[in-house]
Structure 1
Amino acid sequence: MIQFVKHNDVDTEKWDKCIRKSVNCLPYAFSWYLDIVVSQWDALVLNDYEAVFPLPCKSKYKITYSITPFWVQQLGLFSLTCSSFSRVNEFIEAIPNSYRYIDLNMNFNTHLSPASFSKIRTNNNFVIPLDKPYSAVKKGYSKNLLRNLKKGNSNNLQLFKNDSPNSLINLFRSDKGKYLKHFRDEDYKRLETIMHVAVHKNCGQILMVYGEGNRLLAGMFLVFSPRRVVLLFTGNSDEGRALGAMPFLIDSFFKESANSGIVFDFEGSNNHDLAQFYKSFGAVNESYQNLKINRLPSVLKYFK
Structure 2
Amino acid sequence: MSIAYLQHHAIDKIQWDALITQSPEGQVYALSWYLDVVSPAWEAVVQLDEEGKYRIVMPVPWLKKLGVRYIQQPLFCQQLGVYSINGSIAEAVYNSFIKELEHRFRYVTGYQFNTSNKLPAAPQQEHTFTLYLHLNKPYEQLQQRYTRDRKQNLKRAQKAGLRIIESEDMEPLITFFRTETAGRIYGGVSEEAYAQLRELYAALKTRGLARLYYTLDQQERKNAGCLFIIWRNRIVYIFNAAAGHGRKQNGRTLMLDHVIREYSNQEFILDFESPDESEPDIVNFYRSFGAEAMPIPVLKYNHLPQSIKLVREVRMRLVQRLKGK
TM-score, normalised to structure 2, is: 0.88
Map 1:112-261; keep pairs closer than 5 Å: 112-114=119-121, 117-180=122-185, 181-261=187-267
Q: Are 1:35 and 2:29 matched, yes or no?
A: no
Residue by residue over 1:224-263, the C-alpha shift from the partner in whole angstroms, topping out at 9 and shown as x without a partner, is: 2212111110011343332221111100111111122111
1:85 Cα deviation from its structure 2 partner = 4.9
Partner amino acid for 2:57?
V
Offset, 1:264: 0.3
CA contact (8 A) 2:182 2:188 kept: no
Q: SS state of the match for residue 59, structure 2?
A: strand
- CA distance in structure 2 between the aligned counterparts of 1:3 and 1:27, rounded to whole angstroms: 23
Tell me if the contact between 1:77 and 1:85 (Cα under 8 Å) persists in the aligned partners: no
- What fraction of aligned residue pairs are identical, expressed as a percent? 27
1:216: how far off?
1.0
Identify the residue that residue 116 of structure 2 maps to in structure 1. 109
Q: Deviations over 1:146-204 (max 9, x none)?
A: 10111111111111112301121111112112333431000011011111110111111
Q: Distance in 2 between matches of 1:226 and 1:17?
A: 13
State the partner residue of 2:307: 299
What is the CA–CA distance in structure 2 between the aligned matches of 1:96 and 1:112, rounded to whole Å? 15
The TM-score with structure 1 as length reference comes to 0.94
Long gaps (5+) in structure 1: none
Instruction: Give the counterpart letter for 2:191 in structure 1.
Output: D
Give the unaligned 5+ runs of structure 2: 314-325
Name the amino acid aligned to 1:120: Q
- State the match for 2:12 in structure 1: 11
More divergent stretch after superposition (252-261 vs 79-88) = 79-88
Coordinate RMSD, CA, aligned: 1.6
Contact 1:37-1:69 at 8 Å conserved across structures: yes
- Determine if contact 2:137/2:264 at 8 Å carries over to the other structure: yes
Give the distance between the partners of 2:289 and 2:162, measured in 1 at CA: 20
Please say if residues 217 and 239 of structure 1, whose CA atoms lie closer than 8 Å, have aligned partners that are also in contact.
Answer: yes
The 4+ residue runs of structure 1 with deviation greater than 6 A are none
Task: Report the AA paired with residue 244 of structure 1.
Answer: N
Q: Is the 8 A contact 2:42 2:61 kept in 1?
A: yes
In the alignment of these two chains, the number of paired residues is 302
2:168 and 2:40 mapped to 1: Cα distance? 28
Secondary structure, counterpart of 2:106 in structure 1: strand
Q: Secondary structure, in 3 states, of the residue corresponding to 1:296? A: coil
The answer (yes or no) to whether the contact 2:81–2:112 under 8 Å persists in 1 is: yes
Q: Which moved more, 1:280-289 or 1:221-230?
A: 221-230
Say if 1:44 and 1:55, in contact at 8 Å, map to a contact too: yes
